[in-house]
Amino acid sequence: MLNNKSILITGGTGSLGKALTAHILKNYPEIKRLVILSRDEQKQFQMAQEYPNHLYPQIRFFIGDVRDRERLIRAFQGVDYVIHAAAMKHVPIAEYNPDECVKTNIHGAQNVIEACLANNVERVVALSTDKACAPINLYGATKLASDKLFVAANNIRGASPIRFSVVRYGNVMGSNGSVIPFFINKKKEGVLPITDENMTRFNISLQGGVDMVMHALFNAWGGEIFIPKIPSYRITDIAEAIAPECEHKVIGIRPGEKVHEEMITPSDSFYTYDLGKYYTILPAVPNWKLDDFLKEFDGKKVADGFAYNSGTNTEWETVESLRTLIKEHVDSTFEV
Ligand SMILES: NC(=O)c1ccc[n+]([C@@H]2O[C@H](COP(=O)([O-])OP(=O)(O)OC[C@H]3O[C@@H](n4cnc5c(N)ncnc54)[C@H](OP(=O)(O)O)[C@@H]3O)[C@@H](O)[C@H]2O)c1
């Protein structure tokens, strides 16, 4: 499906962007062009060393800021598929610099949509987060606004066959700035800071995130928010898995944090369908026939009032399974 297609990843030098790049170049070497768009030339320079032009002639690096609509319109020329992964994603930084987060996550989303519409892009997948579900911090609120923009963009496509969809998931194991590398680094100090001993999070590997994005790219009809079924972990189990010898210092929940994350609230349940490996929240009025969609994907409506919450999840990682996952996905030299 990607053969002879051109694909662009905003935020292509980030954790997910790099994992997507590796996945696409390995599995779809016949791709016409893979464009990485981001701001920092240094990160692009480093990534270009991993993909030398004589071995990977498909890859292009494009400096650009999603806040700059004209630049996106130029970058998206001849592009068939866009994956929008660029974002400001640190909760405390967004709380402190709200207008910057709004510019990147909301205005940036609208610019991506406009640049896609201006260039006859066929498919667009935007990244969301569990923090966008009933948000209590600005990062989550901006991602919710972004989700709404992408879902509604299907209504302004006119005669274009473009499909916009969203992928929402929880903490990506080992991604930039996440808890596992943070604890591994802190271990040598003998004390791990724990925000709240009851805290739980949804857990997904980078490859799990890549698979979800590729699924959305290939299968979306337009307007879906795709949510993978993934396990939760307790923050205290992560601490135990990484450094059983360390003391825990409870430092209190940080501004804008929840004790448990949510991906589907009871209010979303009225529009939520179980697709087997995934849930999907559908637009209230999709621009295709719901019955056809449910037949195609064997979709079943969840019970009214259903919630998907990391604290009441039915699937859990254990200390042992976390150790195996850390070794597999984060640090192959990891030892307790
Ligand atoms: N990591 C997680 O746990 C997680 C969980 C759920 C959802 N998500 C979502 O998944 C997406 C990718 O996350 P990630 O972990 O890969 O993030 P990341 O590692 O922080 O990467 C972010 C990427 O976006 C680029 N970027 C930031 N601001 C930009 C701007 N204004 N214009 C253009 N590029 C910009 C960055 O490069 P430059 O700084 O060089 O521009 C970088 O390439 C985000 O939308 C995030 O909200 C992440």
DSSP symbol at 262: E
Asked whether residue 176 carries a pLDDT value surpassing 80, the answer given is no
Asked whether residue 1 carries a pLDDT value surpassing 90, the answer given is no
In this predicted structure, which of 86-100, 164-178, 215-229, 266-280 has the lowest mean pLDDT?
164-178
**Residue 332 pLDDT level (bands cut at 50, 70, 90):** confident
Q: For residue 55, which amino acid is it? A: L
85 C-alpha vs ligand 1 centroid, how far in Å? Answer: 5
DSSP symbol at 254: P
Mutate to test the pocket of ligand 1, among 8, 16, 131 (most ligand atoms within 8 A of CB): 16
The catalytic position among 131, 188, 249, 277 is 131
pLDDT at 84: 98
Rounded to 10 deg, the angle between the 138-153 and 108-118 helix axes is 20
Could you tell me which of 180, 191, 278 has the C-alpha nearest to residue 229? 278
**Residue 254 pLDDT level (bands cut at 50, 70, 90):** confident
The reply to whether ligand 1 has any atom less than 6 angstroms from the CB of 129 is: yes
Q: How far apart are CA 290 and CA 285, in angstroms?
A: 9
Asked whether residue 105 carries a pLDDT value surpassing 80, the answer given is yes
72 C-alpha vs ligand 1 centroid, how far in Å? Answer: 16
Span 41-55, average pLDDT: 97
Mutate to test the pocket of ligand 1, among 66, 175, 178, 261 (most ligand atoms within 8 A of CB): 175
The reply to whether ligand 1 has any atom less than 6 angstroms from the CB of 65 is: yes
Helix, strand, coil proportions of the chain in percent (round to 5)?
40, 20, 40
Report pTM.
0.96
